[in-house]
Amino acid sequence: MQTIQSVNEMQSHAIALRSSGRLIGLVPTMGCLHEGHLSLIDIAKERADKVIVSIFVNPTQFGLNEDFDRYPKSLQEDLEKCRERGVDIVFNPSVDEMYPQGYSTYVSEEQVGSGLCGISRPNHFRGVTTVCLKLFNITRPDIAVFGQKDAQQCAVIQKMVADLNIPAQIVIGETKRGEDGLATSSRNRYLTNTQRDEALTLPKALQIAQRMVQDDGVSSVDRVVAEITHTLSSARQVRVIYVEIVDRLTMEPAGREIIPGQHIVCVAAWLDQTRLIDNIAL
pLDDT digits (tens, 9 = 90+) for 62-106: 999 999 999 999 999 999 999 999 999 999 999 999 999 999 999
CA distance 277 to 229: 14
What integer pLDDT is reported at residue 198 of this predicted model?
97
CA distance 244 to 252: 10
246 lies in a domain? yes
Options 37, 124, 230, 263, the catalytic residue: 37
118 lies in a domain? yes
Do 126 and 20 share a structural domain?
A: yes
Instruction: Give tens-digit pLDDT for 170-185.
Output: 999 999 999 999 999 9
Do 88 and 151 share a structural domain?
A: yes
Q: Total domain count for the chain?
A: 2
CA distance 146 to 154: 7
180 lies in a domain? no
Do 250 and 159 share a structural domain?
A: no
Instruction: Give tens-digit pLDDT for 248-279.
Output: 999 999 999 999 999 999 999 999 999 999 99
Instruction: Give tens-digit pLDDT for 195-224.
Output: 999 999 999 999 999 999 999 999 999 999
CATH number at residue 59: 3.40.50.620
178 lies in a domain? no
Q: Which domain does 155 fall in, by range?
A: 2-173
Beta-carbon contacts of residue 98 (< 8 Å; ≥ 6 apart): 7, 56, 58, 131, 134
Do 255 and 159 share a structural domain?
A: no
Q: Can you tell me the mean pLDDT for 105-126?
A: 97
Q: Please, what is the average pLDDT of the chain?
A: 97
Do 162 and 59 share a structural domain?
A: yes
Report the helix count and the strand count for the chain, using DSSP H and E: 10, 9
CATH number at residue 230: 3.30.1300.10
What integer pLDDT is reported at residue 110 of this predicted model?
97
Boundary-marking domain end, from 173, 201, 232: 173
282 lies in a domain? no
For this structure, is 37 an active site residue?
A: yes
Boundary-marking domain end, from 122, 151, 173: 173
181 lies in a domain? no
Where residue 237 falls among pLDDT bands split at 50, 70, 90?
A: very high
Q: Can you tell me the mean pLDDT for 116-125?
A: 97
Torsion angles phi and psi, residue 227, rounded to 5: -70, -40
Do 121 and 98 share a structural domain?
A: yes
What integer pLDDT is reported at residue 226 of this predicted model?
98
Is beta strand 169-173 parallel, antiparallel or unpaired with respect to 50-55?
Answer: unpaired
- The amino acid that residue 47 corresponds to is R
Torsion angles phi and psi, residue 94, rounded to 5: -85, 165
Torsion angles phi and psi, residue 249, rounded to 5: -100, -45
